[in-house]
Amino acid sequence: MSDIKLSICIPTYNRARHLEKALANFADHYEIPFPYEIVVSDNASQDDTRAVVEHFTAKGLPIRYFRQRENCGGVRNVDSAFRHARGVYSMYHADDDSLVIDGLVNAVNYLDAHSDVGVCYAPWYLHNEVEGMDTGLFYENPSDLKFAKDAFEQVFSFLIERHVFPEVAVFRSSVLRSAWQDRHFAFVYFASLAHLLAKSSVAFLRKPFYRAVMQSSAGRDRTQAGHEEAMTAWDRYRGGLEYYLNFGARRGVVRLTPERRALFDKQIQQFTATRMSVAMRMWVNRKDYLRAYEICSRLVYAGFGEHPMVQQYRQALAVPAAVQSLALLVSGAAEVEKLLLKGFSNPDALEKMLRELGLREDIAVLTDEAGLQPADTARTAVFVAKEADRQPFLDRGFFPGLVLCEADIADTIVL
């Protein structure tokens, strides 16, 4: 049996500054009362990641470092870190996050005391490192809960009712070895939960042992993987839950009668709609109104038009999404150098909005056609307020696909 109690597995790629901060926590702040190792799996970084690791290894941290020959993708690099783990237990640790040591000790003690449990999940803090404060918990669990092996339906109900994502966990390494498998169209943590539940009991603890850093003191330019995933991954969340239920059905522990399948489908749809509404808000915050509009359209179709967040954005998205459509359409047309706005009461405000929403800086915006020469027709897009204003420009030789009226754009945005 390994004398290492816990392997803390850190996949990383080109984020030496963040990894340095994470490892400094182990060197300067954490007091972990059992033997542990840090497994760093470097996804072929081109920065000074290796030097950072060597620095902390020299300071005495129990680091084992492995470097990929080429970038193999995030999930496969997580798997690499797990495969190299030698501890009785293993856990994932992002290269920019931090631990809550008393909660971690609690999780390890729980596994020590419950030999039938293959994994302990727990909620995690969302943390603003710039201001030095936690801003909330990603789901809450009022008490420690243990689910028996193959309790697929009971765990599914728990996930749906409490909107739980089984991500932050301490795994029994012997169980994790075959339970962790990459999946492409199914959210890997739901799929892996199915594999784990087929092998052992699973526990969801009340006490957090992890902080996900949302605002980092090591630089505002970093990509926050969970944040980015939340903006795009709702179909994989749906796929993960479907995979989970199918896995249980194939094991004979989930009953998929027509009535129960309809119930499961409704529950998955509601779960996914919540995540889609969050993604919609995040795209609005990025001023990507077209992506937000697409999500809103799907939510309305699915019957969630009365959802508070959908109602909030449903009408407000129409104008910015339409203007952004125009900005991207004109910007994407090769060799277009000018955009003429014709017949608008406030062209300056329209130009400002177009710039904010993606119109290329090198495209000149005109409100007066007097200076246009015959040679400009091939390099100028025209946006007119009324359909009747199109024909004069077509008669002068402007390209039909680049003479647009307001209705052309507005008709594509329907909520």
CB burial readout 273-306, b (16+ within 10 A) else e: bbbbbebbbbbbeeebbbbbbebbbbbbeeebee
Q: Determine what percent of the chain falls in helix, strand and coil, rounding each to the nearest 5.
A: 45, 20, 35
Rg (CA), the chain: 27
- The CA–CA distances, whole Å, from 322 to 14, 114, 290 equal 37, 57, 8
Mean pLDDT score of the chain: 93
Backbone phi, psi, residue 85, to 5°:
-70, 140
CA distance 178 to 224: 28
Task: State the pLDDT at residue 399.
Answer: 95
162-175 per-position pLDDT tens digit: 999 999 999 999 99
Burial of 90 (0-12, 13-18, 19+ CB in 10 A): buried
- Looking at the predicted structure, is the pLDDT value of residue 307 above 90? no
- Looking at the predicted structure, is the pLDDT value of residue 1 above 80? no
Q: Write down the pTM of the prediction.
A: 0.87
Strands (E), 51-116: 63-67, 89-92, 98-99
- The answer for residues whose C-beta is within 8 angstroms of residue 125's C-beta and 6 or more apart is 100, 134, 136, 137, 138, 208, 210, 211, 212
pLDDT range class, residue 143, cuts 50, 70, 90 = very high
- Residue in the structure block whose two tokens are 């603890």: 205
For residue 46 the two structure tokens come to 């081109």
97-114 per-position pLDDT tens digit: 999 999 999 999 999 999
pLDDT range class, residue 225, cuts 50, 70, 90 = low
pLDDT range class, residue 222, cuts 50, 70, 90 = very low
DSSP string of 15-72, one letter each residue: -HHHHHHHHHHHHHT---SS-EEEEEEE-S-SSSHHHHHHHHHHTT--EEEEE-SS--
Half-sphere exposure of 132 (CA within 13 A, CB side): 0
- Looking at the predicted structure, is the pLDDT value of residue 410 above 90? no
2-59 per-position pLDDT tens digit: 699 999 999 999 999 999 999 999 999 999 999 999 999 999 999 999 999 999 999 9
For residue 209 the two structure tokens come to 């042992």
Report the run of H or E that residue 382 belongs to, with start and end.
strand 380-384
CA distance 337 to 133: 48
Task: State the pLDDT at residue 223.
Answer: 52
DSSP 8-state secondary structure symbol assigned to residue 411: T
Compute the average pLDDT of residues 340-355. Answer: 95
CA distance 141 to 205: 7
- The CA–CA distances, whole Å, from 86 to 6, 66, 112, 210, 258 equal 8, 14, 17, 21, 45
Instruction: Identify the sign of the CA torsion 182, 246, 122, 199.
Output: negative
Indicate left, alpha or beta for 340 from its phi (over 0: left) and psi (-120 to 50: alpha). beta
How many Cβ atoms sit within 10 Å of the Cβ of residue 325?
21
**Which amino acid, one-letter code, is at 392?**
P
Strand partners, 342: 384
Size of the chain in residues: 415
Q: How far apart are the first and last CA of the chain?
A: 61
Do strands 210-215 and 169-172 pair parallel, antiparallel, or not at all (unpaired)? Answer: unpaired
Task: State the pLDDT at residue 219.
Answer: 62
CA distance 124 to 169: 10
